[in-house]
């Protein structure tokens, strides 16, 4: 069987159809959640590989783990399922010298990987590149990938991005506005799974749009309406992913560790591991952010992450376990964790100001609080389905001041109590380090 025998059924609409016509060197598919952006881009790459023998393509995200759990699942189940079953496409798991890839029987290759391990995905040249969830990348990442578009087997070389809208000053929006990238605006009627040709919703579409309709604030504007919007009254205005999210690194064993807990069940339970360097900078390097699990199960999960099969710790023990004040949950956690806990300093106003201070860039060009990329241990599928934040990093841009009731409106001097569990835990650790006036006792 040859590539010509592959059976592919796909109905591109709207922006997806425009993508297939485009020969622009840089194209962004941007729009609300559920419009079929990633699916269209994957079909674009798949069709190119089927119909152009010997080309080299790249499908990439910020991290290899996120690519494997999302984008590649879509590729294998919806885009290339027949080709994989028929042997037209084969999976190659990679080697120390070569990146993982999908190999086509006509000699075409789709390399896959993450920018967290750029030495593999950027060691070759390509004809076509697709970057999923491109808002996760920096503009430097994007331009670096672009330097690899020089394989020359296609008459046109193209770099494609898929993303939900972010804040209006994001580099993708600005690059598009100044003419450096063509922006295609994807909408829900582009997705046949959710909208019939006559514009009415399918049963699946009714369920999905119901979830989007329940969103509020900036998340509704971005994920339902497809607007590049900044949150009104955002609390951490100094937050900049390019500065405050850092790539994983080996944390010295000499750095002090902290474990911070914000309890929840219907709302997410959040556990954050922080490392403090010798200059007092804080790095969140691991996180549990999960709904509908008991505290005792979270405690067992925490121990599995930090101990070996014999129960020996594989990293330094935390100096303290700082917790929300719920007495029953604290007692349960202490029992199953086998460690004592300390109540968090929960005053909100000064805690927020302390976090804002840590986000400021210091004279050395660095902030004093960072999140390590990929810190989340596992994603909560219920939160993803509800289009709610699934980790602290996803909370921050939507962490806003509450609106005063009444016609006059205005902002209160307190945060909106919604999607704030990771932000609360972050405030606890900063308050512990910067606001706790603990007496110093000298023993003679």
In the chain, where the domains are located:
3-191, 241-434
pTM: 0.70
According to the model, what pLDDT value does residue 169 have? 82
According to the model, what pLDDT value does residue 6 have? 57
According to the model, what pLDDT value does residue 5 have? 57
Question: Which residues pair with residue 65 across a beta bridge?
Answer: none
According to the model, what pLDDT value does residue 1 have? 40
What's the mean pLDDT in 158-166?
Answer: 96
**334, burial (CB in 10 Å: exposed 0-12, middle 13-18, buried 19+):** middle
Of 427, 432, 238, 434, nearest to 351 by C-alpha is: 427
* Cα–Cα dist 194/8, whole Å: 20
| 265 touches 291 (CB < 8 A) | yes
- Spatial neighbors of 269 by CB under 8 A, at least 6 apart, are 261, 262, 263, 288, 289, 290, 291, 293, 295, 298, 421
Query: At residue 8, does pLDDT exceed 80?
Result: no
**255, burial (CB in 10 Å: exposed 0-12, middle 13-18, buried 19+):** middle
What's the mean pLDDT in 144-150?
Answer: 96
* Cα–Cα dist 130/158, whole Å: 9
Range of weakest confidence among 79-88, 149-158, 224-233, 375-384: 224-233
- Spatial neighbors of 76 by CB under 8 A, at least 6 apart, are 84
Of 359, 356, 351, 344, nearest to 258 by C-alpha is: 344
pLDDT digits (tens, 9 = 90+) for 121-138: 898 999 999 999 999 999
Distances (CA, A) of 54 to 19, 84, 104, 128: 22, 18, 9, 12
CATH topology of domain 3-191: Rossmann fold (3.40.50)
CATH 3.30.70.60 is right for the domain spanning 241-434: no
pLDDT digits (tens, 9 = 90+) for 24-46: 999 999 999 999 999 999 999 99
According to the model, what pLDDT value does residue 97 have? 81
Q: What is the DSSP letter of 230?
A: P
According to the model, what pLDDT value does residue 411 have? 61
* Cα–Cα dist 272/259, whole Å: 6
């Amino acid at each position: 069987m040859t590539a010509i025998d592959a059976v592919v059924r796909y109905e591109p609409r709207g922006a997806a159809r425009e993508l297939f016509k485009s020969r622009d060197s840089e194209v962004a598919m941007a729009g609300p959640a559920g419009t079929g952006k990633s699916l269209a881009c994957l079909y674009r790459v798949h069709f190119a590989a089927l119909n152009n023998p010997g080309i080299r393509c790249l499908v990439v995200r910020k991290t290899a783990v996120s690519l494997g759990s999302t984008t590649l699942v879509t590729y294998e189940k919806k885009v290339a399922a027949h080709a994989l079953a028929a042997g037209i496409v084969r999976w190659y798991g990679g080697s120390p010298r070569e990146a993982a890839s999908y190999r086509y029987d006509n000699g075409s290759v789709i390399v896959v990987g993450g920018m967290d391990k750029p030495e593999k995905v950027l060691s070759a040249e390509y004809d076509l590149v697709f970057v999923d969830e491109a808002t996760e990348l920096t503009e430097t990442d994007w331009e670096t990938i672009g330097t690899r578009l020089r394989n020359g087997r296609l008459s046109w070389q193209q770099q494609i991005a898929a993303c939900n809208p972010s804040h209006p000053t994001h580099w993708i929006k600005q690059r598009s506005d100044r003419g450096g990238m063509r922006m295609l605006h994807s909408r829900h009627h582009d997705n046949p799974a959710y909208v019939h040709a006559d514009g009415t919703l399918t049963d699946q579409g009714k369920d999905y749009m119901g979830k989007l309709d329940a969103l509020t604030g900036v998340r509704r504007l971005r994920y339902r309406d497809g607007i590049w919007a900044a949150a009104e009254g955002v609390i951490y205005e100094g937050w900049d992913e390019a500065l405050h999210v850092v790539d994983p690194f080996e944390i010295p064993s000499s750095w002090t560790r902290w474990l911070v807990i914000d309890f929840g069940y219907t709302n997410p339970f959040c556990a954050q591991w922080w490392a403090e360097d010798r200059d007092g900078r804080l790095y969140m390097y691991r996180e549990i952010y999960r709904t509908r699990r008991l505290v005792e199960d979270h405690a067992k999960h925490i121990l599995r992450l930090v101990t070996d099969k014999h129960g020996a710790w594989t990293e330094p023990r935390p100096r303290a376990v700082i917790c929300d004040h719920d007495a029953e949950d604290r007692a349960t956690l202490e029992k199953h964790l086998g460690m004592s806990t300390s109540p968090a300093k929960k005053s909100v106003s000064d805690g927020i100001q302390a976090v804002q201070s840590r986000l400021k860039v210091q004279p050395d060009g660095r902030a004093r609080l960072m999140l390590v990329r990929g810190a989340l241990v596992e994603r909560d599928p219920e939160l993803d389905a509800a289009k709610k934040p699934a980790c602290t990093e996803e909370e921050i841009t939507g962490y806003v001041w509450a609106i005063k009731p009444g016609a006059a409106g205005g902002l209160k001097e307190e945060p909106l109590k919604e999607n704030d569990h990771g932000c609360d835990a972050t405030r606890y650790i900063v308050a512990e380090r910067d606001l706790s006036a603990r007496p110093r006792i000298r023993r003679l």
